[in-house]
Structure 1
Amino acid sequence: MITTIKNNSLVDFENELCTILNTHSNEIEKAKKIISFIEETLKQISSWLKNHVFDSIQDEIIFFKEIKPNIVAKLIFYKEVLILIATQPIDKNKKVKYFEKRLNAINQFHRKNREFIKYIKSQSTHFDELYFTRKKYKDLFLNDCVVINQDAKLSTSHDYLLAEVIAYELLAIYIENCIDNLNKSCAIANTNFNSNLHWTAKKIDLIELIYALHQAKVFDNGQADIKEITHVLEKAFQIDLGDNITRSFIDIKNRKTEPTRFLNQLQAELENKIEKDSY
């Protein structure tokens, strides 16, 4: 983690997050694991900050405007996700209302902090030294933002507020996807759909096909979620692909030869059919 800080980069942090995301299929366990990882990361950052002297004001601004807020934002986001999962109603219709209520709260946060959000979105820099460096006189302008309750050596007046902005944008997208998936699943459940087709090839072959169809954006002009595509094809072909097709996709990517083995086979079979029918 110290290497990450010194390089002003989030690469190592994001790579570790991806590893956790790809190795835990249960959302609750995934969120808990990520929260634990980020909290440990922040402990390391705190120890480092107490003794670190930035080479320049610009380096300090970069850290408190770009690096720390993005790490803290993930912590806020996954804690919110954990609460959402743990407290959501069982009834689907009540779930939608529950998620919509949380979206309204996020919108209120954005309205309350619209001037600061405008500053960030417009990529302005004229207040950066005021907002994203540690100053002894920062209590003079505390009234215009939410400030993390930490040692002055570990925070600036606005880095936590920026983390909240980033986190709530991620949370809004997450909630909107939850609402969309609930609405789609209700629509599917209310549709009489019966199929006698059974997928008799390997499960990994269907997953390869699903990712190809999703990447090609052949459903809903590319707006269809891969989970929804998976659900529909599972229902159509009467097969259970399991909870974590992402793990299977990683296995596909890691193939030493022919990553698109099934798609290549399909192409060869179709070309063979076309060739035979041409005579």
Structure 2
Amino acid sequence: MITAIKNNSLVDFEHELAQILNSNTSEVEKAKKIIIFIDNILLQLTDWLKTHTFDSIQDEIKFFKEIKPNIVAKLIFYKELLFLVATLPVEKNKKVKHYEKKLEAIRHFNRKNREFIKYIKSQSTHFDELYFSRKMYRDLFLTDCIIINHDAKLCTSHDFLVAEVLAYELLTLHIENRIDNLNQSCTINSNQLQSNLHWTAKKIDLIELIYALHEAKVFDNGQADIKEITNVFEKAFQIDLGENITRSFIDIKNRKTEPKRFIYQLLYALDDKIESDMK
């Protein structure tokens, strides 16, 4: 990693990152591994920066304006991603609101730092020495409070801000894609659900089945909302199950005989079919 830094290159870093991303693990596990990986890289950077002297002010600016922020941006992104997943609601409509809340926070950040973001996006350089070089006497009025507690050898006044800008760009794209996917999955194509099938058993039986399927977590890895499942069954079988299926489920639980009456009926019917076919 240190050799790559000396060559003003992120090749080694990106290669290691790609290996983790291409591994056959869950999104959460990948994020955790990447966070640990980048933390280790930054520890190496810390030791290196304490003793390293850049050959020129241009090399120092390049490092703190481009190389280090790109590494830190990935750390911010995957920590934010991990937090988003950990706090994600179950219901799809609440998921969208959860993501939109984060997007609004990012927009607030962008508004607050509008002029600096414009400086970075326009590839301006006139303040580079002030923003991205380490000076013994820096103007603390231009320095983020987060920097004051850091060793002056390890950072400049604005390298972390660049990392945040880069990270929030990645996060915005990621969240917008997630919202698009959720909206597409929530949009039920009526043509796909058109059929000549009608539910001819009791409504309460279908509600019992829906609750069984929901509790078995057979839809969307258990993330599907009971109302969404109900809506699909109503459209598929052209039946109205009413506004309050929760009330109907309470009636199911309060049955004096067997609460799981319809489920057992299905089980017995399947057993009879299997036994009949085996004869």
TM category, shorter: 0.5 to 0.7
Matched residue, 2:41: 41
Contact kept in structure 2, 1:134 and 1:155, CA below 8 Å: yes
Q: Which residue identity lines up with residue 33 of structure 1 in the other structure? A: K
Contact kept in structure 2, 1:110 and 1:117, CA below 8 Å: yes
- Superposed, 1:88-107 pairs within 5 Å as 88-107=88-107
Quote how far apart the aligned CAs of 1:147 are: 3.9
How far, CA to CA, are the matches of 1:181 and 1:158 in structure 2?
35
Structure showing greater Rg:
2
When residues 14 and 94 of structure 1 are mapped into structure 2, their CA distance, relative to the original with a 3 A threshold, is same
Secondary structure class of the residue paired with 1:116? helix
Quote how far apart the aligned CAs of 1:24 are: 3.7
- Superposed, 1:77-92 pairs within 5 Å as 77-92=77-92
Contact kept in structure 2, 1:147 and 1:161, CA below 8 Å: no
When residues 188 and 27 of structure 1 are mapped into structure 2, their CA distance, relative to the original with a 3 A threshold, is farther
When residues 191 and 169 of structure 1 are mapped into structure 2, their CA distance, relative to the original with a 3 A threshold, is farther
Structure 1 gaps of 5+ residues are: 196-279
- Superposed, 1:196-207 pairs within 5 Å as none
Q: Which residue identity lines up with residue 101 of structure 1 in the other structure? A: K
Q: Which residue identity lines up with residue 97 of structure 1 in the other structure? A: K
When residues 91 and 138 of structure 1 are mapped into structure 2, their CA distance, relative to the original with a 3 A threshold, is same
Structure 2 gaps of 5+ residues are: 196-279
Quote how far apart the aligned CAs of 1:135 are: 1.1
Quote how far apart the aligned CAs of 1:111 are: 0.1
Quote how far apart the aligned CAs of 1:172 are: 0.5
Matched residue, 1:258: none
Matched residue, 1:21: 21
How far, CA to CA, are the matches of 1:190 and 1:72 in structure 2?
46
* 2:160 pairs with 1:160: yes
When residues 34 and 189 of structure 1 are mapped into structure 2, their CA distance, relative to the original with a 3 A threshold, is farther
CA deviation vs aligned residue, 1:225-274 (integer Å, no higher than 9, x gap): xxxxxxxxxxxxxxxxxxxxxxxxxxxxxxxxxxxxxxxxxxxxxxxxxx
Contact kept in structure 2, 1:60 and 1:132, CA below 8 Å: yes
When residues 6 and 191 of structure 1 are mapped into structure 2, their CA distance, relative to the original with a 3 A threshold, is farther
Matched residue, 1:110: 110
CA deviation vs aligned residue, 1:67-125 (integer Å, no higher than 9, x gap): 00000000000000000000010000000011001000000000000000000001000
When residues 43 and 178 of structure 1 are mapped into structure 2, their CA distance, relative to the original with a 3 A threshold, is same
- Superposed, 1:50-61 pairs within 5 Å as 50-61=50-61
Contact kept in structure 2, 1:103 and 1:172, CA below 8 Å: yes
Quote how far apart the aligned CAs of 1:190 are: 6.7
Matched residue, 1:12: 12
Secondary structure class of the residue paired with 1:23? coil
Q: Which residue identity lines up with residue 14 of structure 2 in the other structure? A: E
Matched residue, 2:265: none
Contact kept in structure 2, 1:147 and 1:158, CA below 8 Å: no
Task: Tell me how large the CA RMSD over aligned residues is.
Answer: 1.8
Q: Which residue identity lines up with residue 118 of structure 2 in the other structure? A: K
Quote how far apart the aligned CAs of 1:189 are: 7.5
Quote how far apart the aligned CAs of 1:191 are: 6.2
Secondary structure class of the residue paired with 2:192? coil
When residues 189 and 99 of structure 1 are mapped into structure 2, their CA distance, relative to the original with a 3 A threshold, is farther
Quote how far apart the aligned CAs of 1:3 are: 1.2
When residues 56 and 126 of structure 1 are mapped into structure 2, their CA distance, relative to the original with a 3 A threshold, is same
How far, CA to CA, are the matches of 1:28 and 1:4 in structure 2?
28
Matched residue, 1:211: none
How far, CA to CA, are the matches of 2:141 and 2:14 in structure 1?
33
Q: Which residue identity lines up with residue 4 of structure 2 in the other structure? A: T
Q: Which residue identity lines up with residue 52 of structure 2 in the other structure? A: H
What's the % identity of the aligned pairs? 71
When residues 191 and 131 of structure 1 are mapped into structure 2, their CA distance, relative to the original with a 3 A threshold, is farther
Contact kept in structure 2, 1:64 and 1:159, CA below 8 Å: yes
